[in-house]
Structure 1
Amino acid sequence: MNKKETRYLLGAALLILTLVACGGSDSSSTVDTDTTSASDTDNTQSDTQLGLDPDNFLTDALAQDISTTSCTLSDGTETQCYEIVINGVPSNNEIGPFCPTHIDDDETQGGVWFDGSGELYQLDGEFIVYTKTLYGDDWQLYDETTGEVYVTDTQVACEAAARPDVDPEYQNHCVQCDIEYYNGGVQQTFLIPVTPVALSNPEQVSADIGVALNGVVIAGPAPVSDILAANTIAAFDDCGGHINPVEGYHYHAALGCSDVITSVDGHANLIGYALDGYGIYAMLNSTGEEDYDLDECRGHSDDTRGYHYHAASAAENMFIGCYSGAQGSIEVAQ
């Protein structure tokens, strides 16, 4: 491996440890928790199904106060759900940047990219040049004369490149959209069970997995194979999010920006909640270690939190592996 390849093959674990939360300290809160030893933890669901705590959400993340309503879960269970309406933009940090505009741009002028290969790349100008080495000679994301990167910098270009059948005019582009194209954010409503209902068998994750505490959709794996097939990079910002025309800004990776609840017992920080009501926590605890007793859904139980999930690394292009509980629903405001 040459020096240029080494420069860009950033290990996911290293980046997770070095990235800081995007939000300011004023947005953080602390939850008092009891210390849980390794012997108290296993990968079976606790008899006590600890669910969503509405007080954990940042106030500015919500379009209205969280309320309860009757709902029917994915397994047919009729129960009570929290109704959570989000504004569709992170309440604790700015969105972007996504694509660099010139091959001389440094890492502060772009976001990140992950393609499911197990690597996380810093999206600077030199990476744009490196895509030809990484993906093949038919990749040309910049003008060789001027060094300017081909970026979708209008709504028309964004939507032509963001669709499954990318307009040929916008192939070999770094794709980004502006949240202002979509009224500054897409409001969405989540129905999440007040008390989680455990399933006998896990279920496959949906396109949207849950909601972060700062008011952002937690999405499933990004369709990177389709994106790469069109010789495009659908850039993510340093928070692991990007914008599409259907649901606006959403996360495909956990990079620290929604870690607004700090666990005082050293456990990984709370990120948000899945549609089944179980908490989603960061991958690493306060000492930079990952729990290795997780089940296929990336969940386990402890006496303090009951059953809960831990997000995967950004390089794995996923948050959780499956749902352990019956899910509520999500709707985009019309």
Structure 2
Amino acid sequence: MSARTKNSLVTLIAALAGPGLALAHSDTDSVAANALLETPQIVDCTLENGDPAQCVEYVVKYLPDDLEIGPFCPATTGDVGGIWDWDGENPGLYRIDADYLQMLADQGYVFFDENGTVNVFDIRVEGPTAPNECISGSVDESVSMTVLIPMNPVMADTPTPLGTVAKVGLGVDGVPIFADAPSVLDRGHMPALDTCGGHVDPGGWFHWHATATDIDTVFETDEVAANCANVPQDPAALFGYAFDGFAIYGSLEADGTTPAGLDACGGHVGPTADSDAPVYHYHASETFPNLPSCLVGVVAQDNFTTTAAQGIGSARAEGGAAQGRPDFSQAAAALGVDASALEEAMRAEGGRDADLAKVAERLGVTVQMLEEALPGPGRP
């Protein structure tokens, strides 16, 4: 079903149901109090299509008070860490253990030394010192995030795809939700997720890369030896609200049945546990990452900001989004070019699969120089 068709369908349902149909689920009571720094407010906002609107403004902590997080990176090959969705040879969701790390080593990505010690660095306060390192992140308790969610969702003319680390929404637990984490193939380093599907941003705050309340369904489907011990599992539960204002539920309907008629984004119009009237809402998939693959509605401008010194949503986002894009600073220095010029050339010629001959031509360097400088197996 196209976005325009869904828009017509929602309009028709609204006309039939009358003013009682609530297309928005998010309100000032939607997010857990133990995640909030301020009382949520209804504020004027502007949607990205330029329309004036009203949004719920949430100011949330770096981490909800009672949320346990981890494990992330194992200390040694004899330990077991979190999870990672590998997209190289033998792709799939894996528990980060000795077998997985050896598989990566066989492909040229060596994350441990001769003693079995895993290379780990804290992305908030330091950089990597080895070609391949597992990314950890320490929290910054002073950090807060401000999130805007439209109260009355507006369907977009076409859905918005959600690429790597794209903004998805806010969990009812007060934890921000982001799309698929960046690939090891892009950067050489691995920002490990815990077994509920989250990790700490370079800015020092925790966020989800999965529908945490239904991730055990993914582990069962993908036959991964893991379980989420830190978040209660309920495949029919409300997980959060997308940045377009529509709710995100688990992989099942409230009555335990499998959702029918899902669109390309993973949503449909129908009743929910929170609304007898039909409303548009998203469902988690049974495979990783179990989040919407696109957003059907229009999001608010400036919908995510943080007081963090770096990372997503910070004032230095372009320079601090280390998890969101490859780190070209070392490669650029080796080539004697500006990092932004290298990044732009790579993006223009295809990203991860860029034609290196064309990139080299843009930068005025040789292909050999470029290949030696770029992150990858055995290279910093």
TM-score exceeds 0.5: yes
Match of 1:174 in 2: 134
**Aligned partners of 2:255 and 2:94: how far apart in 1?**
24
Q: Following TM superposition, by how much is the alpha carbon of 1:286 offset from its aligned partner in structure 2, in angstroms?
A: 7.0
Moved over 6 A (4+): 257-262
- 1:131 partner SS: helix
Aligned residue type for 1:142 = F
Within 5 A, what are the aligned runs for 1:114-153?
Answer: 114-116=85-87, 119-133=92-106, 136=107, 138-144=108-114, 146-153=115-122
Count the aligned residue pairs. Answer: 266
- Read off the aligned partner of 2:152 and give its amino acid letter: T
Aligned-partner Cα distance in 2 for 1:271–1:151: 31
Residue of structure 2 aligned with 1:300, choices 239, 245, 268: 268
**Aligned 8 A contact 1:44 1:307 in 2:** no
User: 1:200, CA displacement in angstroms?
Assistant: 3.1
Q: Distance in 2 between matches of 1:79 and 1:296?
A: 26
Output the amino acid matched with 2:82: G
Structure 1 residue 261, shift from structure 2 partner:
10
Give, in whole Å, the separation in 1 of the partners of 2:177 and 2:98: 28
> Residue type of the partner of 1:113?
W
Q: Percent identity?
A: 33
Residue 73 (structure 2) pairs with residue 73 (structure 1): no
Q: Determine helix, strand or coil for the equivalent of 1:127.
A: helix
1:59 pairs, out of 33, 40, 45, with 33
Shift of 1:232: 2.2
Q: CA deviation at 1:236?
A: 0.4
- Against the structure 1 CA distance between its residues 82 and 56, is the aligned structure 2 distance closer, same or farther, given a 3 Å change threshold? closer
Report the Cα offset of residue 125 of structure 1: 3.3
- Aligned partner of 2:291 in structure 1 is 319
| One-letter amino acid of the counterpart of residue 112, structure 1 | I
Deviation, structure 1 residue 280: 0.8
The offset of 1:311, in angstroms, is 2.5
Q: Which runs of 5+ in 2 are unaligned?
A: 1-7, 15-20, 214-227, 309-380
2:236 partner SS: coil
> How much has 1:324 moved relative to structure 2?
1.4
Distance 2:123 2:191 in 1: 15
Partner amino acid, structure 2, of 1:141: F
Question: Quick one: structure 1 residues 261 and 192, their matched pair in 2 at CA, closer, same or farther if it must change by over 3 Å?
Answer: farther
Higher mean displacement: 317-326 or 117-126: 117-126
Q: CA deviation at 1:85?
A: 0.9
Kindly provide the amino acid, as one letter, of the partner of residue 319 in structure 1: L
Native 8 Å contact 1:104 1:126 kept in 2: no
Q: 1:259 to 1:301 in 2, by over 3 A?
A: farther
Q: Does the aligned pair in 2 maintain the 1:141–1:173 contact within 8 Å?
A: yes
* CA deviation string 1:25-63 (max 9, x = no partner): xxxxxxxxxxxxxxxxxx954423133143232110111
Number of the residue aligned with 2:367: none
Contact 1:247–1:332 (8 Å) recurs in 2: no
Structure label with greater radius of gyration: 2
Q: Distance in 1 between matches of 2:61 and 2:154?
A: 27
Conserved? CA contact 1:60–1:91, under 8 Å: yes
Cα distance 1:100–1:185, how it changes in 2: closer, same or farther (>3 A)?
Answer: farther
Q: Do the aligned partners of 1:219 and 1:252 also contact (CA within 8 Å) in 2?
A: yes
Paired with 1:269 and 1:130, the residues of 2 have a C-alpha distance of 36
> Residue 206 of structure 2: SS of its match in structure 1?
strand
Q: Which residue of 2 aligns with 1:101?
A: 75
Q: Normalising to structure 1: TM-score of the pair?
A: 0.71
Q: State the AA in 2 paired with 1:147.
A: G
Q: Which moved more, 1:215-224 or 1:119-128?
A: 119-128
- Flag structure 1 segments of 5+ consecutive residues without an equivalent: 1-42, 162-168
Whether the aligned pair in 2 keeps the contact of 1:61 and 1:213 (CA below 8 Å) is no
- 1:284, 1:124 → 2: CA distance? 31
TM, length-normalised to structure 2: 0.63
Structure of greater relative contact order (alpha carbons < 8 Å, 6+ residues apart): 1
Residues 288 and 124 (structure 1), Cα distance of their counterparts in 2 relative to 1, 3 Å cut? farther
> Is residue 276 from structure 1 mapped to residue 236 from structure 2 by the alignment?
no
